[in-house]
Amino acid sequence: MKITAPDRAALLAILERLPRQRVVVLGDLVADEYIYGEIARVSREAPVLILKQREKHIVPGGGANAANNLVDLGARVILLGAVGEDESGEALLRYFHEKQVSTRHVERGRDFLTPTKSRILGGLTHWPRQQIVRVDREPARPLAPAARRRLSRRALPFLRDSSAVLVSDYGYGTTDAREVEWLRRRKGRRPGPIMVDSRYALLDYQHVTAAAPNEPEVEAAFGQSIGNNLERLHLLGRKLLRRQELEALLVTRGRDGMVLFELRRAPVHLPIFGSDQAVDVTGAGDTVIAAFTLAVAAGASFLHAAMLANCAGGLVVMKRGTATVTPREMAEALRNA
């Protein structure tokens, strides 16, 4: 992605303002579990590899990953979500405690299972580890409506002094469009955007500031394939912008970059930042919405916020596993762009 000298100066100035922002994160807290094993032999029971487990660790995923990216970008985060009384939930709470992020507003449910995505990776000694299989453990039922409303009520007092609200809806029921609308009405004219990342319920969210779906989520919302049809992408993007009454819509397209839609403006295509040979795309969408939200909170235009989100996404896919980026990494990349 080519960046003009004036844009580069503006983007670097925005990066310097990121640590002064406070963001409320409301959403599904997911645990990303990585189990690493060394290939020992082929099983006699079936034609499968036997791995000797060497490591296991759990890092934030989903809304927790968005929050983690905000923290590493310098923001102060108010974390609201739910975990179960299980190993994954304890690991997430411990992770944020070590990063000095308060978890006092996280709901703990005895009958709620922390959504966990377990990735099993194998390889030989000194070889790159390859993902073999992923096992997902999900709650049998969404969080109870009473618990969702408790989280919304806990978020309410923070709206006055926060720069933005980031909603991460992965479909596990921690929050939904009804709760976000409840918050929006009580937020009134208080400053700060409401930014939404929703995997399955994109069309339920209206009157929020912006949304950042990926292209398959837009296709699923309207039941239409986009592929390489840019005319259809523009049609659906504008339709979504108007239908949901958004101020901006940022559609991510993998190796084809991003497209920013704003009212009364032509769509802006942002080519991928850096290499199109991604190492690992896990959690890249969380990085994008975190950077986009934080930049808007810091006073950036939607275009400059999208450019920073594009930079952050391009950097994070070059790292293995669920990862984050820092302002220093972004500043260096922008200077060299």
What DSSP letter does each residue of 216-277 carry, written as one string? Answer: HHHHHHHT---TT-HHHHHHHHHHHHHHTT-SEEEEE-GGG-EEEEETTS--EEEPPSS-SS
Give me the residue label for tokens 């979504």: 240
Residue 141 is predicted with a pLDDT of 86
Show me where the domains of the chain are located. 5-30+61-114+141-336
Q: According to the model, what pLDDT value does residue 121 have?
A: 93
User: Binning pLDDT at 50, 70 and 90, where does residue 250 land?
Assistant: very high
Average pLDDT of the chain, as a whole number: 94
What's residue 127's pLDDT?
79
Quick check: helix, strand or coil at residue 67?
helix
- Work out the average pLDDT over 137-142: 90
Confidence of residue 278 (pLDDT cuts 50, 70, 90): confident
pTM above 0.85, yes or no: yes
Q: How confident is the model at residue 110 (pLDDT cuts 50, 70, 90)?
A: confident
pLDDT for the residue numbered 237: 97
**206-241 pLDDT per residue, tens:** 999 999 999 999 999 999 999 999 999 999 999 999
Query: Where does the pLDDT of residue 276 fall: very low under 50, low under 70, confident under 90, or very high at 90 and above?
Result: confident
Lowest mean pLDDT, pick from 8-12, 29-33, 108-112: 108-112
61: Cβ contacts below 8 Å, ≥ 6 apart: 30, 31, 32, 115, 117, 283, 286, 322
Q: Answer yes or no: is pLDDT of 75 > 90.
A: yes
Structure tokens at 105: 């507003």
DSSP string, 289-330: HHHHHHHHHTT--HHHHHHHHHHHHHHHTTSSSS----HHHH
pLDDT tens readout for residues 20-69: 999 999 999 999 999 999 988 999 999 988 999 999 999 999 999 999 99
Fold of 5-30+61-114+141-336: UDP-N-acetylmuramoyl-L-alanine:D-glutamate ligase (3.40.1190)
Mean pLDDT of 293-312: 97
pLDDT of residue 168: 98
Q: Which residues are catalytic?
A: 286
User: Could you give the angle at the alpha carbon of 168 between the alpha carbons of 245 and 164, nearest 5°?
Assistant: 65
Nearest of 38, 137, 28, 155 to residue 87 by alpha carbon: 137
Tokens 């991003």 identify what position? Answer: 258
Average pLDDT over residues 166-182: 96
246, with CB counted inside 10 A (0-12, 13-18, 19+), is buried
